[in-house]
Amino acid sequence: MWDVEIRGMASAHAIIAASIFMATIMPAVLVEKFSVYGTHLVWLYSVAGSVAVVNIAVFWLLGISPPTKKNTLSYKLSKLFRSCVYFLLSCLFFHTVVVLYGAPLLESALETFSLAVLLSTFTTLRCLCILGPNVQAWIRVFSRDGAMSVWDTSLQITTGCSVVGAWLGAFPIPLDWDRPWQVWPISCSLGTTIGFLTGLLTAPLWIRWHRKQLTYKLK
Amino acid sequence: MRLSSSVFASFCLLIELLGIALFLRGFFPVPVKSSLSSKSKLSDLPAEPLAGNSPNSTKVPPPLFKRVVIILIDALREDFIFGPNGKRFMPYTRHIVERGSSHSFIAKARPPTVTMPRIKALTTGSIPGFIDVVMNLNSPAVLEDNVIWQAKNSGKRIIFYGDDTWVRLFPKHFMEYDGTTSFFVSDYTEVDNNVTRHLDSTLKRDDWDVLILHYLGLDHIGHISGPHSSLIGPKLLEMDDVIKKIHASLISREAEGTLPNLMVLCSDHGMSETGSHGGSSEPEISTPLILISPLFQRKVGLEQPAMVEQVDLAPTLALALALPISQNSVGRLIPAVFEEASLREQLRFLHMNGHQLSSLLRDSNPNFHKEDGYEQFRMAEKTHGNWMKLYMDGNTSEVLGNMGKKLLKQYLEALQAMSAALSKQLGKYDMYSMIVGMSLILQVLVLLVLAMPEALSRAACVDVPVASAFLSLPFYLLCLLGSSIHVLVCTSAEASCYFCSLPWLLAFTAILFSSALLCSLVAMAARYGEELVQCSTTRTSSDWTLSELDILLLTGTVGHTLSLGASSFVEEEHQTWYFLLNTLCLAVFQDVCRKYFRERRRPGDDEEDDPLLPSIAEEDASQATFSPAAELGVSVGSEKWLALSTPILTLACCRLLRSLNQTGVQWAHLPDLSHWLNSGDHKVVLSLLAALSLLLIFLLVQRRCSLVSKIALALGLLGVYSYRAAVGNVLFPWQHSGRSISKGTGEARFVYIFILGILFTGVKDLLRSQVMSSAVEGRRLKSRGLWEVYSGVVLLVALLFRAHNLPTLACCLLIQTLMAQFIWKKLHYDAAQTTIMHYWFGQAFFYFQGNSNNIATVDISVGFVGLESYVEAPAVFLTAFSTYAGPLLWACHLVCYLSSERDRAALSLGHGSYCFALLRSVPAVFYVVLVTALRYHLFIWSVFSPKLLYEAMHTLVTAAVSLSICAKSAHRKSDLL
């Protein structure tokens, strides 16, 4: 039972990671003068978009989403609407946090917001896919010892890694090396992506390593 | 010897302070300065020596040259001209060197080989000491005597094109100038075109006497791609063209009957094999110096260029232009330049140079009589007098000529000896003192770290095995070793170090102490080793777990310390602290959320989870009845929301303050709120903001004071506002427009009276609490006394802060109040965690108030608040106080907060002061070691040295706070006895 779940998760993660690489390579073929530094926002949106699509597709196909009590169309629609609102709110939340961390308030607001969108895609969107728009479940998962399944643990790891990656990505900004990747927000979004990829890679490994210690309570 | 934690901490800090002071004394050698503050004048020049008592002439020999063109090519290495590169890329220059009428030398530059000090060396002839540069950061202009000033003073018209460092060093000295900023290292064509484009028109004109050109391109190429890059060749060819153009123009304008012109080709420093500079490697300090003039004899082939010092150019130029030699010059003239002058003139030049050097030697060295050079110069002067007498008598025999030649040699030897004696005192690190200081503070740090388990234990006592160390054999061996090393180092010939010049008794006490410390360290380490072994045998897994907050606090401290190794992170240290502070606030927010949301969910969710938590909740409820939260009239329900909003409010405050004062280096030029507020059009806004901040400060501080202090505080804050209005920063609502701006001395003194009053009341309450019979009453009185002292400090800060900084103070107090009431108490953070948080906040507020790691941001005007004229002691105290206001306020708050804990006040205070000492020691010690390792770094002057001074000053402030804590706990002990 363990192995099946872990293998499923590993393959899901591999697909998501592959989508990030594809999102980096594809525009290079399609868009003229594309480079990760030069046309950073294009790269950022392409990564965010592809990760979003692949995430939704994978989790919809795997059917990991929480069981729904009602199966009516209006309920589903309201859920979808709530998810969108949550996503937007999380973008605003990340934007605020980044501004509090010292990003300029007015100028380059678009760049800051794009970073917030990327962060939300890597964190909130996955939460929405796995847990649904259910704040109580989110609080449970992100409080100590709150994970109840393999997917909860993987969610904890990838979210943590993405946020820490973005955090670490801010460190090279004050250095006076005059490198192209020191422009706001390139180092942070690269840090986020690398952190997310690390999270995707480590989550199955970590769970496999610690499967003896991990005892999930049944829902 | 058993010491309580707070005594132990202040003891460690004091020792560390001594160590740092010793280190600083070795790191910054005392500059050689003439005692006269004025600049040399022509009238001060010595008379020509003449035996007998006939009137001797004080006339200066006429100048040798009419016009001078100085071409300074930044980072021109000597082998770019004298080596194979020169043959390929600088054919014209090479031709002049080999066949033209010129003199070529290799001029040795002194480290640090950085442009600004090197320009100073070239123009003043002195070797600027580190402390000199650091102290002059506020006014970059050269105040010392220098050739440029002398030239301008004697009516020479100077034109300058090139690096704008010159323009900053010599403001208003140039008749015409065009400065190029050297900020953009990647540009190496535009910087030079900027200089060359003026050449044609300038060379045609006749209205100048001195032309100075400073080319930066070569240096930039070196920084980009090193000395072997393909870009070097074209650049050298370009420079060669420039030299050719100037030389041709000078020759064509050479007229019969007038004096010849002089062209000087030199460089400020060389270039290392990687293309950088700043250190003391051979290619970095070897620069070419080529003097070209029709006056000189034509060369007949390439000779090995002679070695001179870079500082020799200043006296040579001064004498050749008939200017007085600048006072602090340690250079000696280059004899080859004066070969064509008559023997009498040559001797006269040498005498003037010797006289200047000997008077400088007399001023800077108390034992100048023992110097060989001085003695030689006296002898030569006497011989010179005799020679002059013969000469005046009309003796023209060969004997006179031979005697003159001999005298010349004698003078040159004397000059060399004096110059060497002078420069030996300069520009050299006193490594022995540095190492002694460093080993002292390293020992203290190890002591602090080893004492950690004991100092943070429930007893808060540290047992330092000093007595056993004094009786052990290794102690005596170490003493012997230390003393012998000391004697050996100090008696070796070349050493001139501060630690050796201390009295022997003091030095041996230091050695004794250091060895005792080392012995007790080893004993302590052995003890812990044993305990650790026992522990590991009895218990396999430790029950010591870290929360996320602990991990953040530890990694933040370690990360910040490590970040000091990069010059950019030192320049932008505020970013590190803001970043850490933000993360801290978010982590605290997570803790708060966890506490309040978990509690709400608990009843339905998991009862058996851990039985500890509900009891804590009960405790909270019971605490709420007499917790400070109740003072504000807050119900328990809304308390949750207040607690939740505290970190968010803190974050918002920090973001606002961050944009109030832009600091650092890279983004310091960006417009910030303080500029906007101070711009004159927004005076009304500034006044309103200041008034609101003062009101907020009053509301936040008055709660815990007695009635008398409350009134005094209110009046004092009103006084602060009227002081600011009198100085003209803010508007009085009823102010008449015609009021003139005064110095506001009266208002400031009015506030000082209230500050002293409040401090007095506070101290009185503290003292009275000692003799109080009832414990509860005594504690209440003591807490009130502490808060009164604290409010006195706040009032002083309010007076000293500029009007636009008053919101910083208000925010500081607001955050302190909210955090103390809703976070630190409610979440049961222990003393260590609270201390670290206070330290971080203090550091961040140091930068919020507009400070940086650059000496230039220290606000010196604070020293004049309430004083009619400059009085040193209060001015220094006030400046230091206002600069470190942020860390001081947070440290004071820490003391007040920790002693307000009911039953464990003494314990928390001990833990707190120990953590404070450790937090200060770790970066300070690391930084001292780092600076020693990086002492030849390119940025050692501009970035690392000022930061070293800041670190030392911060340690001093911390030691003062720690001593006050110590005094308080001593009180407590006497109370217990």
Which of B19, B187, B29 has the alpha carbon at shortest distance from B956?
A: B19
Which of B138, B169, B140, B144 has the alpha carbon at shortest distance from B879?
A: B138
Which of B219, B281, B284, B214 has the alpha carbon at shortest distance from B72?
A: B214
Residue B763 neighbours by CB under 8 Å, 6+ apart: B785, B789
User: What local confidence, expressed as pLDDT, does residue B364 receive?
Assistant: 76
Which residue in A has a C-alpha nearest to residue B564's C-alpha? Answer: A175
User: What local confidence, expressed as pLDDT, does residue B611 receive?
Assistant: 33
**Rounded-to-integer distance, Cα B219 and Cα B182, Å:** 10
Alpha helix positions (H), B425-465? 431-450, 452-455
Nearest CA of chain B to the CA of A112: how many Å? 16
A105–B658 C-beta distance less than 8 A: no
Q: Quick check: bond before B112 cis, omega within 30?
A: yes
Residues of B whose CB is below 8 A from A144: 594
Nearest CA of chain B to the CA of A168: how many Å? 11
Q: For residue B226, name the pLDDT band (cuts at 50, 70, 90).
A: confident
A139–B575 C-beta distance less than 8 A: no
Nearest CA of chain A to the CA of B607: how many Å? 15
Residue A130 domain boundaries: 2-209
Beta bridge partners of B70: B212, B264
Q: For residue B602, name the pLDDT band (cuts at 50, 70, 90).
A: very low
What average pLDDT score do residues B401-408 get? 88
Domains of chain B: 1-29+431-545+907-977 (no CATH), 62-340 (3.40.720.10), 548-600+608-663+673-902 (no CATH)
Which of A122, A128, A98 has the alpha carbon at shortest distance from A110?
A: A98
Which residue in B has a C-alpha nearest to residue A164's C-alpha? Answer: B583
Q: Is A215 contained in some domain?
A: no
For chain A positions 182-211, those within 8 Å of chain B (CB to CB) are none
The pLDDT tens digits for B889-931 are 999 999 989 888 767 777 888 888 999 999 999 999 999 999 9
Q: For residue B342, name the pLDDT band (cuts at 50, 70, 90).
A: confident
Nearest CA of chain B to the CA of A67: how many Å? 20
Residues of B whose CB is below 8 A from A101: 578-579, 582
What average pLDDT score do residues A126-132 get? 85
Q: Are A46 and A30 in contact (CB under 8 A)?
A: no
User: What local confidence, expressed as pLDDT, does residue B751 receive?
Assistant: 93
**Rounded-to-integer distance, Cα B383 and Cα B402, Å:** 13
| Range with the poorest average pLDDT among B413-422, B451-460, B811-820 | B451-460
| Range with the poorest average pLDDT among A107-121, B53-67, B128-142, B240-254 | B128-142
B568–A174 C-beta distance less than 8 A: yes
Nearest CA of chain A to the CA of B649: how many Å? 11
The pLDDT tens digits for B424-475 are 766 567 888 899 999 999 999 999 999 888 888 887 788 888 888 888 888 9
What average pLDDT score do residues B310-317 get? 92
User: What local confidence, expressed as pLDDT, does residue B622 receive?
Assistant: 38
Nearest CA of chain B to the CA of A157: how many Å? 15
Which residue in A has a C-alpha nearest to residue B571's C-alpha? Answer: A174
User: What local confidence, expressed as pLDDT, does residue B939 receive?
Assistant: 79
Which residue in A has a C-alpha nearest to residue B552's C-alpha? Answer: A164
Label residue B505 exposed, middle or buried (CB < 10 Å: 0-12, 13-18, 19+).
Answer: exposed
Q: Are B287 and B80 in contact (CB under 8 A)?
A: no
Q: For residue B627, name the pLDDT band (cuts at 50, 70, 90).
A: very low
Residues of B whose CB is below 8 A from A176: 568, 571, 666
Which of B831, B834, B832, B923 has the alpha carbon at shortest distance from B576?
A: B923
Which residue in B has a C-alpha nearest to residue A142's C-alpha? Answer: B594
- The DSSP line for B309-351 is EGGGHHHHHHHHTT-PPPTT------GGGGTTS-HHHHHHHHH
Which of B660, B718, B658 has the alpha carbon at shortest distance from B694?
A: B718
How many structural domains are present in chain A? 1
Residue B477 neighbours by CB under 8 Å, 6+ apart: none
Q: Are B654 and B582 in contact (CB under 8 A)?
A: yes
**Rounded-to-integer distance, Cα B292 and Cα B68, Å:** 10
What average pLDDT score do residues B592-600 get? 74
A100–B575 C-beta distance less than 8 A: no
Q: How far is CA B204 from CA B208, B209, B859, B936, in A?
A: 10, 13, 47, 43
A143 touches B at CB < 8 Å: yes
Tokens 């970040």 appear where?
B563
What average pLDDT score do residues B374-396 get? 86
A-B interface: how many C-beta pairs under 8 angstroms? 42
What average pLDDT score do residues B190-194 get? 87
Q: Is A125 contained in some domain?
A: yes
Spatial strand order in the sheet of B306-309: B176-180, B158-163, B210-215, B68-73, B262-266, B286-292, B102-108, B306-309
Residues of B whose CB is below 8 A from A177: 568
The pLDDT tens digits for B756-796 are 999 999 988 888 887 777 777 888 888 888 899 999 999 99
Which residue in B has a C-alpha nearest to residue A178's C-alpha? Answer: B186
User: What local confidence, expressed as pLDDT, does residue B184 receive?
Assistant: 60
Q: Is A219 contained in some domain?
A: no
Q: How far is CA B756 from CA B697, B744, B883, B965, in A?
A: 18, 19, 20, 20
Residues of B whose CB is below 8 A from A170: 579
Choice between B963 and B41, residue whose per-residue pLDDT is larger: B963
Residue B110 neighbours by CB under 8 Å, 6+ apart: B121, B127, B285, B310, B311, B423, B426, B427
Question: For a pLDDT cut of 70, what percent of chain B falls above it?
Answer: 88
Which of B5, B84, B189, B110 has the alpha carbon at shortest distance from B911?
A: B5
A3 touches B at CB < 8 Å: no
pLDDT at B54 over 60: no
CB nearest A100 (choices: B186, B582, B601): B582
Q: Is A138 contained in some domain?
A: yes
B568 touches A at CB < 8 Å: yes
Beta bridge partners of B69: B211, B263
**Rounded-to-integer distance, Cα A188 and Cα A172, Å:** 9
Nearest CA of chain B to the CA of A68: how many Å? 21
**Rounded-to-integer distance, Cα B721 and Cα B421, Å:** 57
What average pLDDT score do residues B853-869 get? 80
A60 touches B at CB < 8 Å: no
Q: How many CA atoms lie within 13 A of B51 on its CB side?
A: 15
The pLDDT tens digits for B92-104 are 999 999 888 999 9
Q: Are B278 and B262 in contact (CB under 8 A)?
A: no
Residue B688 neighbours by CB under 8 Å, 6+ apart: none
Which residue in A has a C-alpha nearest to residue B586's C-alpha? Answer: A97
The pLDDT tens digits for B108-129 are 988 777 788 888 889 988 877 6
Q: What percent of chain A is helix, strand and coil (3-state, nearest 5)?
A: 70, 0, 30
Q: How far is CA A181 from CA A126, A177, B314, B396, B566, in A?
A: 27, 10, 46, 78, 19
B555 touches A at CB < 8 Å: no
pLDDT at A177 over 70: yes
A97–B575 C-beta distance less than 8 A: no
**Rounded-to-integer distance, Cα B304 and Cα A42, Å:** 62
| Mutation target vs B (from A99, A100, A143; most B CBs, 10 A cutoff) | A100
User: What local confidence, expressed as pLDDT, does residue A69 receive?
Assistant: 62
Phi-psi region of B944 (alpha: psi -120 to 50; beta: other; left: phi over 0): alpha
pLDDT at B478 over 80: yes
Q: For residue B616, name the pLDDT band (cuts at 50, 70, 90).
A: very low
Q: Is A188 contained in some domain?
A: yes
Residues of A whose CB is below 8 A from B591: none
**ipTM of the modeled complex:** 0.91
Q: For residue B586, name the pLDDT band (cuts at 50, 70, 90).
A: very high
Residues of A whose CB is below 8 A from B658: 102
Which residue in A has a C-alpha nearest to residue B574's C-alpha? Answer: A174
CB nearest A170 (choices: B579, B597, B652): B579
Phi-psi region of B680 (alpha: psi -120 to 50; beta: other; left: phi over 0): left
Residues of A whose CB is below 8 A from B659: 105
A178–B651 C-beta distance less than 8 A: no
Label residue B259 exposed, middle or buried (CB < 10 Å: 0-12, 13-18, 19+).
Answer: middle
CB nearest B655 (choices: A99, A144, A177): A99
Tokens 């003199």 appear where?
B103
The pLDDT tens digits for A101-115 are 988 888 889 999 999
B578 touches A at CB < 8 Å: yes
Tokens 């501060």 appear where?
B498
Q: Is A216 contained in some domain?
A: no
Nearest CA of chain B to the CA of A14: how many Å? 30
Beta bridge partners of B68: B210, B262
A135 touches B at CB < 8 Å: no
B566–A100 C-beta distance less than 8 A: no
What average pLDDT score do residues B156-176 get? 89
